[in-house]
Amino acid sequence: MQKKRATIKDVASLAGVSTATVSHVVNGSKPVKQTVHDRVIAAARQLDYQADRAASQLRSGQTRVVAILVPDLDDAFFTSLVSRLEVMAGKDGFDVIVASSRDDPAVEQSRLRALLGWRPAGMVVVPCTDSLPTVLIEECGRTPVVLADRVVPAGAPADTVTIDNAEAGEIAARHLVAMGHRDVVIAASNLAIAPIRERERGAHDFLRGATGRAPVTIELGSNSITGAERFAHWQERHARPTAVLALTNVTTLAVLSALAQARVDIPEQVSVIGFDDYAWMSARKTALTAIRQPLDLMAQSVWDRLTARMGGETGAPVAISLTASLQVRDSVLGLPAIGGGDVATPGSDPLNPGESKSAIH
Partner DNA sequence: CGATTTACGTTAAACGTTTAACTTGGCGTT
Partner DNA sequence: AACGCCAAGTTAAACGTTTAACGTAAATCG
Q: Does 13 bind DNA (CB under 7 A)?
A: no
Question: Is 26 or 73 the residue whose CB approaches DNA more closely?
Answer: 26
Q: Which of 18, 46, 261, 323 binds DNA (CB under 7 A)?
A: 18
Contact region with DNA (CB under 7 A), list: 18-26, 76-84, 147-155, 227-235: 18-26
CB hemisphere CA count around 35 (13 angstroms): 1
- Fill in the DSSP letter of residue 122: E
Rule CB under 7 A: say whether 30 interacts with DNA: yes
Site membership for DNA, residue 36 (CB under 7 A): yes
Cα angle, residue 79 at apex, residues 78 and 80 outer, rounded to 5°: 90
**Of 2, 3, 31, 239, which lies in the binding site for DNA, with binding defined by CB under 7 A?**
31
Residue 342 CB-half CA count within 13 A: 19
* 325-327 sheet: strands from edge to edge: 216-219, 184-188, 243-246, 271-275, 289-292, 325-327
Three-state DSSP at 347 gives coil
Binding region for a second copy (CB under 8 A): 1-2, 5, 48, 50-55, 57-58, 63, 72-74, 76, 79-80, 82-83, 86-87, 90, 95-100, 102, 107, 111, 113-119, 138, 141-142, 224-225, 228, 253, 256-257, 260-261, 263, 265-266, 278-280, 282-285, 287, 314, 360-361
Partner residues linked to 272 by β-bridges: 244
Does 42 bind DNA (CB under 7 A)? Our answer is: no
Q: Which is nearer to a second copy, 166 or 254 (CB)?
A: 254
Between 108 and 167, whose beta carbon lies closer to a second copy? 108
What stretches of the chain show up as alpha helix (H) in DSSP? 8-15, 19-27, 34-47, 53-60, 76-91, 105-116, 134-139, 165-178, 194-211, 224-236, 249-261, 279-282, 295-310
Number of residues that bind DNA (CB under 7 A): 31
208 binds, among a second copy, DNA, none (CB under 5 to 8 A by kind): none
Burial class (CB in 10 A: 0-12, 13-18, 19+), 324: buried
Residues that bind DNA (CB under 7 A): 7-9, 16-24, 26-27, 29-33, 35-36, 49, 51-52, 55-56, 58-62
